[in-house]
Amino acid sequence: MYIHEPISGTQGAPMLGRFVPLPELDVKKHGASDEAVAAATAVMDKIFWGLSPSNVDILRGLSIHLHIIPQSKKATDLAEFRKLKDKTAPTGGSYDSVRVVDAIRSRSRIEYAVGEESIVEGFIVAQESARVVARFALTKSEQQWLQSLFNERKQKGGAWVSADAASSPEAYFSASTAALFGYRFNRAWLYQNDPQIHSLVSAVFRHAPGPIPD
């Protein structure tokens, strides 16, 4: 799959420009239901296909793998995350008990995991897919922009998409992206409640669905 970046001033010739290849996207089911796999794939595709070409470029040569943690298993039961057994997750709990594993990069592979029970609702998959972008696909200027917005939000206050969003710039970006794509909230809500982060995530996800609010 490719993201199309048109040449400026070619609105009348939409095929002019360059095509930027998307990274390989893959969902590993590990025995989870077909329904969960289909739902996870749909959300993952929506997030990564929504990226702007400059951000896709940063992911060039990488493959991204979302692992589903079946309801009957722990994250550390999966071979890819077995090395995390008995280690402490960023949330403070043990990786043996968490239902989300943040994105980890090993050479050209990025891997993360989400519990099967949370997939159909969509928000967690969207948030964790966006966390991949926050961690590995933002330009330097976007990283600085995000840090500045997060500092300002913490200082001035305001509604957060989720309680976790207030914990770090990465979490702020990830939850806001989920809202941009219509999970739990929507683009209009994000624009109304936090127009500054709406501007950033709209720049990163140029192909996000829905009209930009006036």
Confidence at residue 210, expressed as pLDDT on a 0 to 100 scale:
76
Q: How far apart are CA 29 and CA 121, in angstroms?
A: 17
Q: Give the DSSP H or E segment for 131.
A: helix 123-136
Tokens of 73: 């298993």
Helices (H) and strands (E) in the chain, counts: 7, 6
Three-point CA angle 90, 91, 95, nearest 5°: 75
Tokens of 1: 């799959």
From the number of C-beta atoms within 10 Å of its C-beta (0-12, 13-18, 19+), residue 108 rates as exposed
Confidence at residue 21, expressed as pLDDT on a 0 to 100 scale:
85
Confidence at residue 6, expressed as pLDDT on a 0 to 100 scale:
61
What is the pLDDT confidence band of residue 58, given thresholds at 50, 70 and 90?
very high
For residue 60, pLDDT over 90 is answered with yes
Residue 33 CB neighbours (<10 A): 15
Structural domains of the chain ordered from first start: 2-204 (3.40.390)
Q: What is the mean pLDDT of residues 83-92?
A: 92
Query: What are 92-117's pLDDT values in tens digits?
Result: 889 999 999 999 999 999 999 999 99
Q: How far apart are CA 55 and CA 32, in angstroms?
A: 31
Query: What are 167-194's pLDDT values in tens digits?
Result: 999 999 999 999 999 999 999 999 999 9
From the number of C-beta atoms within 10 Å of its C-beta (0-12, 13-18, 19+), residue 203 rates as middle
Q: pTM for the whole thing?
A: 0.91
CB 54 within 8 A of CB 3: no
Query: What are 137-159's pLDDT values in tens digits?
Result: 999 999 999 999 999 999 999 88
What is the pLDDT confidence band of residue 131, given thresholds at 50, 70 and 90?
very high
Q: How far apart are CA 44 and CA 24, in angstroms?
A: 11
